[in-house]
Amino acid sequence: MGFCPSGVCAVTWNANGLLGKIDDLREFISRTKPDILLIQGSRLAAADNITVPNYTLYSTPSRTYRRCRGTAILIKSTIKHQYLPNPTLRSIEATMVIVNLPNTPPRVAIFIAGDLNAKHRNWNCTVNCKNGKLLLNFAGKPNAKIIAPDTPTHFHRKGAAILDLALARNIPHVVSAYSLNELSNDHLPVKFLIDTGTPVENPKKFLPNWRKYKSHLLRQTEEIEAEVERLTAEIITAFREWGSWRELIKSKATDEINQQVRERNKCKKTWQKTRHPTDKNKLNRAQSYLRKLYCDHNEKKMTNLITGIDPGVDTLWKLVKTYMNDRIKMPPIITDSQVAYKDIEKAETIADILALQFQNNDLSHPPHPHGIHR
């Protein structure tokens, strides 16, 4: 199951712009297979659609409605979870999901991770800052634990610091953190291992055959009211017998890409130690060549897919249908009095805003308190 076969693996990463690094991220996910990926600085708009095989994306654009900041969560589709709509947070941007952790009491455990931009000597920073003092004081009130890796997670021309942290509350398991020398950004990804003792996902996905499922139920002629227990058993039997287990999609990179990823990581580690401009140029060239390899690999994969389509099946129609579907999802509309989540609520909110804006201006002149003398 990737990093943690006996528990949950969560990785946090400040991407500083996700659209230009999605190929690098897909390779990292296919190789490491984290259960949950927490992304900051996604810079995604509401209309942007990012797909990763076997993962579900939840994105929260910035409140400024511009391509800056923003958060997102990538979680394995095989993990039972529930998306929690973002409330009207004012001091922080966040994306939230509810996950049922094994061997953990429900709805009491809280895990917050990301680039909190806080420095304190308690987690091996060289100096204390205002955000670090506030975070330490805040964690002490609900009896939460601050979890941080031992090595720096952010490298800057002025030095290195540990800015990517996690807050854990009511988690009765050992939580460890490690920084990874992976991906392309001044922030390193940080993995958090929650040792629950039980895997959180099923590595396969069950696909029932609904047509056979329906025909199996229609063959039953007894009265439903008198045979409730038998009908329940038949439903469960139909679901289990008339389906098939299908392997999850495997996204494998070429050997050349894997070698270039190792070379990029090596150049990155060298530059972090030396800070020499020559090493920085080598890192930039390695990253540019890796981006070109990703582009060529994607074009070749799409070409093989299109040329290998059999005209006698509906594969071509399914491929075209994926690009014809409307993928734009309008985010919740935040007003002074409420947060509109449903389509009808959004329509009414937009109508109220337009009605308030398109009002006739009062062009009459109020009487002057004093007379005007010519």
Dump pLDDT digits (tens) for 310-364: 776 677 777 777 777 666 667 788 887 778 888 888 899 899 888 888 887 777 7
Domain stops at, among 152, 172, 195? 195
Q: Do 156 and 15 fall into the same domain? A: yes
Q: Both tokens of residue 202?
A: 């099923």
d(CA 291, CA 266) in angstroms, rounded, equals 16
pLDDT at 336: 79
Q: Do 74 and 94 fall into the same domain? A: yes
Rounded to the nearest 5 degrees, what angle is found at the Cα of 83, between the Cα atoms of 341 and 335?
25
Domain stops at, among 311, 336, 352? 311
d(CA 29, CA 8) in angstroms, rounded, equals 15
Q: Which amino acid is at 148?
A: A
CB 258 within 8 A of CB 293: no
Q: Do 214 and 296 fall into the same domain? A: no
Q: Within 10 A of 371 (CB to CB), how many other CB atoms are there?
A: 5
pLDDT at 73: 93
Domain that holds residue 240: 204-247
Q: Do 173 and 288 fall into the same domain? A: no
pLDDT at 343: 83
pTM to 2 decimal places: 0.64
Q: Do 72 and 158 fall into the same domain? A: yes
Q: Do 140 and 222 fall into the same domain? A: no
Q: Do 184 and 293 fall into the same domain? A: no
Which DSSP state fits 367?
P
Short-list 44, 45, 46, 36, CA closest to 12 = 36
Q: pLDDT means per 10 residues in the chain (374 residues)?
A: 66 89 90 90 83 89 74 89 77 84 73 90 88 89 89 85 90 88 88 80 72 74 64 84 75 86 92 90 92 91 83 74 70 80 87 86 67 58
**Domain contains 11:** yes
- The residue count for the chain: 374
φ and ψ at 312, to 5 degrees? -80, -10
Q: Do 151 and 273 fall into the same domain? A: no
Rounded to the nearest 5 degrees, what angle is found at the Cα of 91, between the Cα atoms of 337 and 351?
30
Q: How many domains does the chain divide into?
A: 3
Q: Do 145 and 16 fall into the same domain? A: yes
